[in-house]
Amino acid sequence: MDEELERDEKVFLLGEEVAQYDGAYKVSRGLWKKYGDKRIIDTPISEMGFAGIAVGAAMAGLRPICEFMTFNFSMQAIDQVINSAAKTYYMSGGCQSVPIVFRGPNGASAGVAAQHSQCFAAWYGHCPGLKVVSPWNSEDAKGLIKSAIRDNNPVVVLENELMYGVPFEFPEAAQSKDFLIPIGKAKIERQGTHVTVVAHSRPVGHCLEAAAVLSKEGIECEVINMRTIRPMDIETIEASVIKTNHLVTVEGGWPQFGIGAEICARIMEGPAFNYLDAPAVRVTGADVPMPYAKILEDNSIPQVKDIIFAIKKTLNI
- Give me the active site residues, please: 47, 116
CA 167 to CA 274: how far, in whole Å? 40
CA distance 29 to 165: 14
- Strands ordered across the beta sheet of 40-42: 40-42, 11-15, 63-67, 101-105, 155-159, 131-133, 228-230
DSSP 93: T
Contact 285/254 with Cβ under 8 angstroms? yes
Burial pattern 134-172, b for ≥16 Cβ within 10 A else e, equals bbbbbbbbbbbbbbbbbbebbbbbbbbbebeeeeeeeee
252 three-class SS? coil
